[in-house]
A and B are shown apart, each in its own frame.
Chain A
Amino acid sequence: MKKFSRVLSSLTVLLVLAFSFKKITQIFIPNGYFSDVQGEAHEATWDEFYGLDKNSIDVIYLGSSSMFHGISPLKIWDEVGVTGFDLGSSTQRPWVTLYFLEEALKTQKPNVVVLDMYAWLWRGGAGAEAHAHTAYDYTKFSIEKTCSVQRTLTDTGFDCGNIFSYIMPAFRYHSRWNDLEKKDFQQNNISPYKGMALGYAENDCTDAFSKFDTVKEYSVDASVVEYFQKIADLCKKNDIELVLIKLPVYEWSEIYSRQITEFSEKNDLTFIDFNYMMEDLQIDVASDFTDGSHLNVKGAEKISIWLAEWLVQNCSFIDKRQDSQYAQWNEDYQTYLQNGRNYQLQTCEDIGMYFDLLKGNPNYDIIAYSNVFPEKLENYRAYCDKVQMPFPKYCSVGQNMFMYIQSDVGIKYVKSEGMMVETNQMTMNIELGKYEDNHRCLYSIEINEGGGVKIYDIDNDVFISKNNTGNLIGTTDTGYEWHFKSQDNATFTVCAEDGLVWDVVGGNIDNGVNVQCYEYNGSPAQEFYLYRILTDGGLSLVKNVAQLQNGTYMFICSGVAMENSINQSKNGDFSYYFLQMDSGNVLGKMLVNGENIQFNNQGDLYMYVYDRKTGILVDKAVVDYAENLALIMHEPRT
């Protein structure tokens, strides 16, 4: 009995130990070598792969890093409804490729394996140990894995550590104890990109490609060929069509292509060398690469579209786009697109375009506030706790006001008692960007009671006023103010102080038609658009009253920036609109689908853009409101 309890307790201890060690391993293994380089896109390829439904993958992509940068499985899905997964890894040795395929075939039955042949050039080298760990440390333990690791450890010329560090990788990373951070204790982020690492940067790689096609002689490592042969045999055995490809890289030469073609012909395989199809596919070394060996998303999509077509023409697939079992793939594609838009947002330097990206996008939540009161959010959170009201996930702060904006629905006001300050001061409404005849349109400038807009004629250096007979005149008197009233159809009327509005004579919309002041009658002749003035032509101010016409660009100055902007505009290089304010303490308003975000004109406008689904901060933009409404900062830029 005593013996039995001893054995039992020993077993318990072993179990507890094993469990603890598993947890510790999860903590100590880095969340993926790629997290530092490529954001979260390629953090947990194998976690993602193991999470796939059994036998749900049509195509498996294998090869080195040019593969997981250069093929977009989701683009291919969207094109032809073929499911695919990228199991590329950095400098993937052929024995790693073989192992990955073996591991993948345990849960998936692909029709096709697409293999990038970069490893033809494999020679070992620097970083080999890290690459080996990248490949092995995230897969499950198996005999195949041990064999593959053994093969890697026999690679000469560099030290890849010992087999123990691969079987129990925690020991390889134990010295990370001092660098552990929050994310190490959390689950890996599972990305929906099917193994693809999304590189968006467009770097000119013309220089790198000058090395293209310079190698004239090459003898391939015998074991490389041996393992490619094993891969080909494994595919044959499993009735899988193996397609060899080579994605464009600057270090490629025709000799490699020839050798691989020989290999493929011997094995009755297809070899597609994209290096020599770049012109046909309109792949530009100046803009389709992140670096000379890796395509960016734009480049990858060009290849993927072509490959998608090729796959459906040459292999048999069933289009699964309408299959409800694969509905998630459609969603994942949307997330993939959204990620691209996020990147655009994060790197956008044009405020008009920025608003365009936000406008109508149902995936963003926006907090906007002016001045430097981010702590107000915390106040509000405390208030919500106090009255037991759920804190809206994201809300905006006006001067003393919190708002929750949904860019597609509008603002949901959250008024907080004792914190809300109503003001009767002049407000300004800016509808977020809208496309109109290819111009970004900012309309519905509205000046409330107690304020107006001064309109300046830049060429004649006069302000626009109105005489008693209803005609518009230029005057040096800076006092005359116009009132802008927005209309439902995204236009506005311009009201004089006596209530008359601007009216195009005879309702004529031709250029050069006179504008007069007339009683409001709601006709199109009294509706004006306000366009943002663009640098790329179309600069046209209210320069001649007699020629003011429907669609004329209008330049409205802010008091603070007036001088600046006038000088700029005289040089012909200003690009933004300005709003005249007549009081130092004015609340501005941004109009989002009829509802306002207020902001103070004395500080910058801070905008926090969140992903609605995940709540992750996509971008923080600061709009320098006082100066020229330019985007002056982006955070975080991943």
Chain B
Amino acid sequence: MTTGTVTVVVTDAEGHASAPATASYAVTSSGPSVPSGYTLGTGSRGTTGRAWNLTTDEGWYKHTGTTISAAYYLPANITFGATGMRIRCSRNDSGHAYTSGEARWANGVGFVPDEHYMRFTARQEQAVILGDFPSWLWSRKQNGDGNGEIDYHETMANHIVGVTGATNTSLLGNKATMIKTPYDANQVNYSQGFNEPAAGTTELAFASSYHTFEVYKTLTDMTTYIDGVLHTVHKRGGTGGTGYPSNQNVTGMTGAIWDSQFASGGLWDLRISYQYGDGTNTGNAGTAQAFTGDRYLNVSELVMAVPA
């Protein structure tokens, strides 16, 4: 395996040079790299890792139907090509305000074990607008209900509260590694917003560029790195992780609840979806942020490894 770093310096017309920006990568001769102690093959627990080739459809289930948002899922909105999987969110006047898509790798079939390493790289091709609800990667138990759902990353415009604690109805936010159980009125959520916007600001910078998430899920914790930087650690029986608390960061998940959902041999399927405009969590496009043109979520890399 070869590793490398790309360095970029931008200079303006007056000769002022930016500080260098860098991006690191690995090149392998035998497929994607995985951390030491993990494998893409059959691991010590009897489960198997996988590196998806997102330039072609390897058998993704494409859901059709209503969503909790203003968008309607259509399989035709999910395509595969040189940049990976793309899910289109489009304005539609034939019965639905918008259409979008949801891809499931193993619909209703358990695939992801409760100990795993997950890596995905994705971007929103357009800057976030009010109403956006792209879910870069999330999962549900094989029975499909929300108990034990893991949201590796979602962008939810109009959802994150600012550090002041007040709901910022015009703000844009991202949240990573949300785990929640049970999925009812007694729901307990653990989540972390990142780059959480302060009151009166917006968070546009995270969109449009690719970002790599790496998640290590064990029987006792779940650790997320974003672009190589430690972001969140959720611990069994803990009271949340690092960074700004968001309105989803509720304490109170006991060790027993954790064990029942995240350390009992359960299996999850994987989902990638793009919803739009649920009015509550994400808002709706208003006159100041009109929905113009098609919008895309682009997932370019997806790797799951299991304990070797």
A-B complex is real: no
